[in-house]
Amino acid sequence: MDKLTIGLVLPDVLGTYGDDGNALVLRQRARMRGLKAEILPIKLNEPVPDSLDIYTLGGGEDTAQILAAEHLIADGGLSRAAAAGHPVLAICAGLQVLGESFRASGRIVDGVGLIDATTAGMQERAIGEVASTPTGTGITAELTEPLTGFENHMGATILGPAAQPLGEITRGVGNADTNATADLRDGAMQRTAEGAVQGNVIATYMHGPALARNPQLADLLLAKAMGITLAELEPLDIPAVTQLRAERLRRS
C-alpha cells in the first residue's frame, strides 16, 4: 500500500465532541511510518465512497444522529465498505447510529444495522472517565493494553448476540446502567460492557479522542487497513503520548 485514505464520515453533524481528532491521529501515525495518508471529509448529503481504507464517525446530538442515520441508510456506501472488509471506528452517537435502532428526540429511530445493538435512554447522564480491559474479540484479538477515554452520553446500549463488547468495564458506566439491564437474563454481562465489535466495525463511547488515548487501538486500525497484523506494524516511540496515557490510566 502506497497511500492510505481515511474517511471522516459526516463531520458536519457527527463532530460535536472533537472526535474528528481520531482521523488526525490515524493520519499522523501513518505518516510517521513513511506512509502517504490523507483524510477525506464526507459531509451530509455527499455519497460515502465504499473503497476507502478506514472510516471514522464521531459524536453528535439527537437531531444530528437522525440526519446521519437517514443519510447513511439511503446512501449505503458505508455498509458496502464494512461488508468489503474495510475497518470502521464509531464513537458515541456513531455507535448508536450504526446499531439496529436508537432513541432520539422522543422516538425510536432506525439505525444503519452494522452493529447488533439497540439504544434506549438512561435516567442519568454517564459522564466522566471510563476505562476497560479489551475483550480481544474478533478484529480486536490483538489488543492487549487497557482502554481509556471520557464518556458523556445518556444512551443505554444493549448488544445482541451478533455483537460483542470492545471492553469489560473497570471504571465508568460504558454501554448501560442497572435499570437498562435489570430484566435481561444476561444483564450482569451487559452492565460490564463497553463498546461493540462486529465484523470490521469497532464502536465505543470513549471520547478523548479515543485514538489519542489508545495508540494501540489506532495502530490496530492501521494494520487492518494495510492487510497486516499489529505485530508487523513498525512501532512508534512518542514520549508525549506515553506520558498522556500513563496519566489517564492512573486516574482510572
Which residue segments constitute the domains of the chain, with CATH numbers given? 3-251 (3.40.50.880)
pLDDT, residue 188, reads: 56
Contact call for residues 168 and 240 (beta carbons, < 8 A): no
CA angle 125, 127, 96 (to 5 degrees): 65
- Residue 177 and residue 134: Cα distance in Å, rounded? 19
pLDDT, residue 221, reads: 98
- The DSSP element (H or E) to which 122 belongs, if any, is strand 117-134
Flag whether 125 is marked binding. yes
- The DSSP element (H or E) to which 3 belongs, if any, is strand 3-9
Q: Which three cell numbers stand for residue 64?
A: 444530528
Q: Which three cell numbers stand for residue 35?
A: 506512509
DSSP single-letter state for residue 234:
P
pLDDT, residue 99, reads: 98
- Residue 209 and residue 199: Cα distance in Å, rounded? 23
Q: Which three cell numbers stand for residue 48?
A: 460515502
Rounded to 10 deg, the angle between the 21-31 and 215-226 helix axes is: 70
- Residue 203 and residue 216: Cα distance in Å, rounded? 15
- 86 is an active site residue: no
Query: pTM (2 decimals)?
Result: 0.93
Parallel, antiparallel, or unpaired: how do β-strands 36-42 and 54-57 relate? unpaired
Contact call for residues 87 and 57 (beta carbons, < 8 A): no
CA atoms within 13 A on the CB side of 43: 1
Q: Please pick, among 71, 86, 153, 207, the residue that the annotation labels catalytic.
A: 207
- The DSSP element (H or E) to which 125 belongs, if any, is strand 117-134
Our CA dihedral for 209, 65, 96, 26, rounded to 10 degrees, sits at -30
pLDDT, residue 192, reads: 87
CA angle 132, 133, 136 (to 5 degrees): 130
- 153 is an active site residue: no
- In total, the chain counts a number of residues equal to 252
Please measure the distance between the N-terminal and C-terminal CA atoms of the chain and give it in whole angstroms: 38
Which amino acid makes up residue 93? A
- Residue 133 and residue 115: Cα distance in Å, rounded? 20
- Residue 230 and residue 134: Cα distance in Å, rounded? 15
pLDDT, residue 78, reads: 98
**pLDDT tens, position by position, for the chain (252 residues)?**
779 999 999 999 999 889 999 999 999 999 999 999 999 999 999 999 999 999 999 999 999 999 999 999 999 999 999 999 999 999 999 999 999 999 998 899 999 999 999 999 888 899 999 999 999 999 999 999 999 999 999 999 999 999 999 999 999 999 986 555 555 556 556 678 999 999 999 999 999 999 999 999 999 999 999 999 999 999 998 888 888 888 878 776
pLDDT, residue 183, reads: 56
pLDDT, residue 184, reads: 57
Q: Which three cell numbers stand for residue 38?
A: 490523507
Picking from 212, 213, 202, 228, the residue whose alpha carbon sits closest to that of residue 27 is 212
